[in-house]
Chains A and B, each alone.
Chain A
Amino acid sequence: NAGVTQTPKFQVLKTGQSMTLQCAQDMNHEYMSWYRQDPGMGLRLIHYSVGAGITDQGEVPNGYNVSRSTTEDFPLRLLSAAPSQTSVYFCASSSPGNTIYFGEGSWLTVV
């Protein structure tokens, strides 16, 4: 049982490049979400999904895109990377009324 798997763990991008952070869970959870963590800011919600085919915006969605074509996967796309998107990204999954599981994080640097 792998839990929540995020890839890549580390990535350096140039400004303007696009990339996708992958998130997969093998627990058949309905809920999945993406957060970013910046120094002194805690974790802030980017996008979330309550099931396949359903996504919605969180607190800081600008510059990011998501889709949920399967229950297992919830990729986060950076359309045109900016230095302000340098952060640590966490994916989470859960089912109603149960523990929320987090991935190990993805460290992204945009230069």
Chain B
Amino acid sequence: AQKVTQAQTEISVVEKEDVTLDCVYETRDTTYYLFWYKQPPSGELVFLIRRNSFDEQNEISGRYSWNFQKSTSSFNFTITASQVVDSAVYFCALDWYSGGGADGLTFGKGTHLIIQP
């Protein structure tokens, strides 16, 4: 069985601070895919990143960076110099099949990030 744990229910920081969202996963599969999605107050799900289990390189996209560590089964997400527009609920998700969600994604419960001006 697969499981995704986002232990931080809510995080509140002041604008321009760096913040890291934690994601720990469990799976017996050797090939799997990890995702991060953003859900702003408007409610839609915005895709941020997909990473397969064979690629442990960290990734940086602007102010966003992701740290994937198979040894600790973690896929953490860092926002540098946070902005008010980053306020949202962030979900980490896991897929074992093909990375295309054939049999659905397993989601964590989400972390509500509040950026205060």
Contacts and interface: CB of A to CB of B under 8 A. Distances in A.
B13 to A, nearest CB: 21
B47 interface: yes
How big is the A interface, by class? 20 to 34
A102 B44 contact: yes
How big is the B interface, by class? 20 to 34
A40 B6 CA distance: 11
Contacts of B50: 99
B100 A33 contact: no
Interface residues of B, dominant DSSP: loop
A50 B104 contact: no
A35 interface: yes
Interface residues of A, dominant DSSP: strand
Given A99-B47, A100-B35, A104-B44, A42 B91 contact: yes
Interface stretch (B64-72, B79-87, B106-114): B106-114
Contacts of B37: 102
B41 to A, nearest CB: 12
A42 B110 contact: yes
A104 B95 CA distance: 21
Interface in A17-68: 30-31, 33, 35, 40-45, 48, 50, 56, 58-59
14 contacts: A42-B91, A43-B91, A43-B107, A45-B104, A45-B106, A50-B102, A59-B104, A96-B98, A96-B99, A96-B102, A99-B50, A100-B95, A102-B44, A102-B47
